[in-house]
């Protein structure tokens, strides 16, 4: 399958080889699904993007003119792709640091930058110096005008429960220590076990240094991070190549 198109079976193989279709589906099943989308379903978008010429799937118009490529055809051929890699938002009880109030907030796994467990020093109601541990979620969000910023929330559930709720298939979030979750889309491994990011928001720049744990689990944390990061890069570069 090239940048212009391919047979139904080639598109099916393309999906399964890159784990872009649900596990257990045969190439014959996927190929038939694609054929029905292209030939039988009344979908204006599919009709715009796809043409069936002797069993081949093509873009009707050159990709650069449409602003679309075969990747769009792949997405149309499998409506489960987006929901598989980008699970629906999860509603959680949080304390909104920016708004200084308790409320419910929706979280998308792909938008979460990191979750940190931090020890805080504060005064008790009786005026005594005390300390406590809190978990903070740093989320990349957009306002109504499309302007992006970082929102910060405090949660009272464990990192394990948070991850299972928000990213159950582990496509985005991974532990780098017992107290830190990071999104592989925003972090990569640097020197001396340190995690680095290109995000320039002040809320992220002023975070404490994030690094892999020095515990007995360090090797496991590193291997899991690299595995999930590699899977993310495969998806990213696949889309990049097709858009090229």
193-224 pLDDT, tens digit per residue, is 899 999 999 999 889 999 998 888 888 999 99
Q: Are 127 and 209 part of one and the same domain?
A: yes
Q: Which of 58, 85, 112 is a domain's end point?
A: 85
Euclidean distance between CA atoms 214 and 216, whole angstroms: 7
Q: What are the residues facing 173 on neighbouring strands?
A: 183
Residue range 38-84, pLDDT digits in tens = 565 444 344 433 444 444 444 344 434 333 344 444 554 444 455 56
Query: Which structural domain, as residue segments, surrounds residue 141?
Result: 90-238
Q: Which of 85, 118, 142 is a domain's end point?
A: 85
- Residue 86: Cβ within 10 Å count: 14
Q: Are 129 and 143 part of one and the same domain?
A: yes
**Into how many domains does the chain fold?**
2
- Residue 244 counted as domain residue: no
Q: Are 21 and 79 part of one and the same domain?
A: yes
- pLDDT at residue number 238: 61
- pLDDT at residue number 160: 93
Euclidean distance between CA atoms 172 and 177, whole angstroms: 16
- Residue 219 counted as domain residue: yes
Q: Which of 64, 85, 106 is a domain's end point?
A: 85
Q: Are 173 and 153 part of one and the same domain?
A: yes
């Amino acid at each position: 399958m090239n940048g212009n198109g391919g047979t139904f079976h080639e598109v099916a193989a393309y999906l399964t080889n890159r784990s872009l279709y649900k596990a257990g589906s045969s190439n014959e099943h996927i190929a038939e699904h694609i054929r029905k989308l292209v030939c039988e379903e009344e979908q204006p978008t599919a009709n715009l993007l796809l043409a069936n010429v002797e069993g081949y799937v093509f873009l009707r118009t050159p990709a650069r003119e449409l602003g679309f490529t075969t990747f769009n055809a792949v997405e149309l051929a499998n409506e489960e792709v987006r929901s598989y890699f980008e699970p629906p938002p999860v509603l959680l009880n949080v304390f909104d640091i920016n708004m200084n109030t308790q409320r419910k907030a929706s979280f998308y796994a792909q938008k979460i930058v990191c979750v940190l467990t931090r020890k805080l020093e504060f005064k008790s109601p009786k005026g005594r110096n005390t300390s406590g541990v809190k978990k903070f979620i740093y989320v990349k969000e957009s306002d109504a005008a499309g302007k992006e910023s970082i929102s910060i929330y405090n949660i009272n559930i464990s990192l394990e429960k948070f991850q299972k709720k928000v990213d159950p298939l582990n496509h985005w979030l991974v532990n780098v220590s017992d107290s830190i979750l990071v999104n592989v889309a925003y972090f990569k491994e640097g020197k001396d076990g340190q995690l680095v990011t290109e995000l320039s928001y002040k809320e992220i720049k002023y975070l404490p240094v994030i690094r892999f744990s020095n515990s007995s689990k360090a090797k496991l944390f590193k291997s899991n991070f690299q595995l999930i990061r590699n899977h993310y890069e495969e998806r990213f570069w696949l889309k990049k190549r097709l858009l090229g």
